[in-house]
Amino acid sequence: MNQLELLWNYQQADMEAERQENTMKRSPARQRLLKYQEYLREQKAASLHLEEEVQAMSDRVDALNDAIMHAEAQLKALHSRFESARPENSKEVQSFIQETQRLLQNINGYEQEVRRIRKDVDGRDSQHRDILQRAAKVRADYDKLKTEYEAEYKENMEKLEKLRNTAAEQGKDIEAAYMDKYKSIKQHIMPPLAQLSGDQCGGCRMSLPSAVLRSVRGGTPVECESCGRLIIK
């Protein structure tokens, strides 16, 4: 057998292994596992995002509580000043009342914001619980399916290894230059070799120029200008 015939036989074995690999990739169990994984990743990101939001809200509540305490202290100081030195005219009374109202308004505003944030936090907490519950259920399904898939994978892997070994056996007498060519074409198109079909490339059905036909028929393989496959007799 010449190098091209060996390469052609190798391609048959190699393609069979490729088919097995593709079957494994398309396995419904594997596809479902990948979907579950994606879902779990999304839920984890959503959960993290909620936690960050709740943390930021809790920081804001702390800041508001500090502001409330500060305003209450100011209010207390204002009243002590009022008690110790009673205002002497209506203008001073007016100013005391205004300052008191301003501080009370501030406190009221802060308290309203705290209540609003607490409500938002409750909403997010409940969203978070839903996410965790759903994720736990999917995680359980995922674990169950993964156990099933592992058995399937092991069996398929054994099959694939056998096919790969057969291909390696077929390829052992092929010279490096031919094998390298095969592998480099394989990166662009599969299968890498095509047989001449009349005056066409058997891979892409492109009619070949007579010079190319002469070379191929004479036993010199030529790469198809259209699909890049190595055309052999």
Which of 7/201 has CB closer to Zn ion? Answer: 201
Which of 121/204 has CB closer to Zn ion? Answer: 204
Place of tokens 């709740």: 54
Which of 41/205 has CB closer to Zn ion? Answer: 205
d(CA 29, CA 35): 10
Return the structure tokens found at 120: 């938002």
Q: Is the link from the previous residue into 221 a cis peptide, with omega within 30 of 0?
A: no
Place of tokens 């005219």: 89
Q: How far is the CB of 203 from Zn ion (least distance, A)?
A: 4
Which of 90/210 has CB closer to Zn ion? Answer: 210
Q: How far is the CB of 10 from Zn ion (least distance, A)?
A: 19
d(CA 205, CA 186): 18
The answer to whether 37 and 142 have CB atoms below 8 angstroms apart is yes
Q: How far is the CB of 233 from Zn ion (least distance, A)?
A: 15
Q: How far is the CB of 182 from Zn ion (least distance, A)?
A: 15
Q: How far is the CB of 204 from Zn ion (least distance, A)?
A: 3
Which of 203/221 has CB closer to Zn ion? Answer: 203
Return the structure tokens found at 64: 């508001």
d(CA 164, CA 196): 27
> How distant, in Å, are the alpha carbons of 25, 33, 94, 160, 163 from that of 21?
6, 17, 87, 7, 10
Place of tokens 């305490």: 69
Which of 163/185 has CB closer to Zn ion? Answer: 185
Q: Give every CB contact of residue 200 below 8 A, 6+ residues apart in sequence.
A: 206, 207, 208
Which of 53/199 has CB closer to Zn ion? Answer: 199
Q: How far is the CB of 221 from Zn ion (least distance, A)?
A: 12
Q: Side-chain half-sphere of 87: how many Cα atoms within 13 Å?
A: 12
The radius of gyration of the chain from alpha carbons, rounded to an integer in Å, stands at 39
Q: How far is the CB of 198 from Zn ion (least distance, A)?
A: 13
- By the criterion CB under 5 A, which residues form the site for Zn ion? 201, 203-204, 206, 224, 226-227
